[in-house]
Amino acid sequence: MDSQELKDTKSELRQVLKERRKALSLEARKMSSELICKHLIQLLEKLEIGSSQNHLAIYQAMKYEVKLDYLLEYAHNYAFSVPIVLGPRQMEFLEVRPKVLLAPKDQQPDFLAKPAAKASIPEGFRQIHASEISALVLPGLGFDKQGLRLGYGGGFYDSYISEHADELLETPKIALAFDEQILEGIPKGAHDRPVDYIVTPSEIIKPIF
| Domains, the chain, ordered by start | 3-205 (3.40.50.10420)
For 70-111, what is each residue's pLDDT tens digit?
Answer: 999 998 889 999 999 998 989 999 999 999 999 998 888 888
Q: How far apart are CA 133 and CA 156, in angstroms?
A: 17
* Closest CA relative to residue 174, chosen from 209, 140, 127: 140
- Sites in the chain below the pLDDT cut of 50: none
pLDDT value for 24: 96
* Closest CA relative to residue 66, chosen from 151, 176, 145, 148: 176
pTM: 0.93
pLDDT value for 16: 93
Please answer whether residues 69 and 102 qualify as being in contact, where contact means their C-beta atoms are separated by less than 8 angstroms: yes
